[in-house]
Structure 1
Amino acid sequence: MVKYPNGTFAAFRKSVGEPTFKKNQKSNYYRKNINFSDRGMTLEQMINESNKFYRLKEIAVVHKKPTPIQIVKVDYPKRSRAVIKEAYFRQESTTDYNGVYNGYYLDFEAKETKNKTSFPLKNFHEHQIVHLTECLKQKGICFTIIGFTSLNRYFVTPANVIAKAWWTQNKSSVTLTEIEEWSVEIKSGFQPTLPYLEAVDYFIADRKSKNGKYKI
Structure 2
Amino acid sequence: MKYPKGSRQNQHNSTTNQANYNKLNPTQFGNRGMTLEKELNETNKFYLETNQAIIHKKPTPIQVVSVDYPKRSAAVIKEAYYQQPSTTDYNGIYKGLYIDFEAKQTNNKTSLPFSNIHEHQVKHMKKVDEHGGICFFIIRFKIYNETFLLPIRPFIQVWEQQFEGNRKSLPYQYIKDNGYLIPFTLQKKVDYLTVVDRVYFNGGDINERRS
- The TM-score with structure 1 as length reference comes to 0.86
2:64 corresponds to 1:71: yes
What is aligned with 1:39? 32
CA contact (8 A) 1:73 1:86 kept: yes
Task: Find the aligned partners of 1:72 and 1:211 in 2 and give their Cα distance.
Answer: 45
2:134 corresponds to 1:138: no
Aligned-residue sequence identity (percent) comes to: 42
Task: Find the aligned partners of 2:86 and 2:69 in 1 and give their Cα distance.
Answer: 28
Deviation at 1:40, TM superposition (A): 1.8
Q: Counterpart amino acid of 1:202?
A: R
Question: 1:127-184 CA distances to partner (integer Å, 9 max, x unpaired)?
Answer: 1000000000001000010001111000000012222322212321111110001001
What is aligned with 1:23? 19
Deviation at 1:30, TM superposition (A): 4.0
- Structure 2 unaligned regions, length at least 5: none
Deviation at 1:20, TM superposition (A): 3.8
With over 3 angstroms needed to count, the CA separation of the structure-2 counterparts of 1:90 and 1:210, relative to structure 1, is closer
Aligned length in residues: 208
With over 3 angstroms needed to count, the CA separation of the structure-2 counterparts of 1:204 and 1:72, relative to structure 1, is same
Question: 1:110-130 CA distances to partner (integer Å, 9 max, x unpaired)?
Answer: 000001111111111011000
2:191 corresponds to 1:195: yes
CA RMSD of aligned residues (A): 2.4
Task: Find the aligned partners of 1:175 and 1:182 in 2 and give their Cα distance.
Answer: 11
What is aligned with 2:210? 215
Which of 89, 102, 111 in structure 2 is aligned with 1:118?
111
Task: Find the aligned partners of 2:18 and 2:57 in 1 and give their Cα distance.
Answer: 31
With over 3 angstroms needed to count, the CA separation of the structure-2 counterparts of 1:76 and 1:211, relative to structure 1, is closer
- Structure 1 unaligned regions, length at least 5: none
- The TM-score with structure 2 as length reference comes to 0.88
Deviation at 1:85, TM superposition (A): 1.9
